[in-house]
Amino acid sequence: MKYSLASVFAGLLFGLGLIVSGMANPEKVLGFLDIAGLWDPSLAFVMGGAILVGLVAFALARKRTLSFLGFNMTLPTNTRIEKRLVIGSMMFGIGWGVAGFCPGPGLVALGAGEIKAVVFVGSMVAGMILFEYVERKRATSAT
């Protein structure tokens, strides 16, 4: 139960932060990405703040064996940059640049009734389903 309440609180806090920062507004995001045009650098401060919070959080997490809710801490261990990571990152960047959404803000905008977000989230879910299908086919052919 405490895990569910903490998840709801964290999700609401994250969504509120996305709205307040402007990350859920695709026009603001596209303005940030338009470095050759009317560039809006304000989201750089949002990203910088998020990076600082992440650095502190991961530094603290590395020193712990249990989370604040009592679960085992498991941090990523893979440090290799593989072709799949590069391709996935490029696809993410292209989608972000075309739509002005990334997954979190896309879900927030969907909840706010933004029509563009319906298309974005639908496309995102279709991509997830396609990825799972390809991964299962790949795992089957490898055995």
Residue 73 DSSP code = P
User: Which residue ranges make up each domain of the chain?
Assistant: 2-142
For residue 17 the two structure tokens come to 């932060």
Reading the chain (143 residues) residue by residue, the pLDDT tens digits are 777 888 899 889 988 888 888 888 888 888 888 888 888 888 888 889 989 999 999 999 889 888 888 888 888 888 899 998 999 899 888 888 888 888 888 999 898 888 889 999 999 999 999 999 999 998 888 77
Q: What is the pLDDT of residue 46?
A: 86
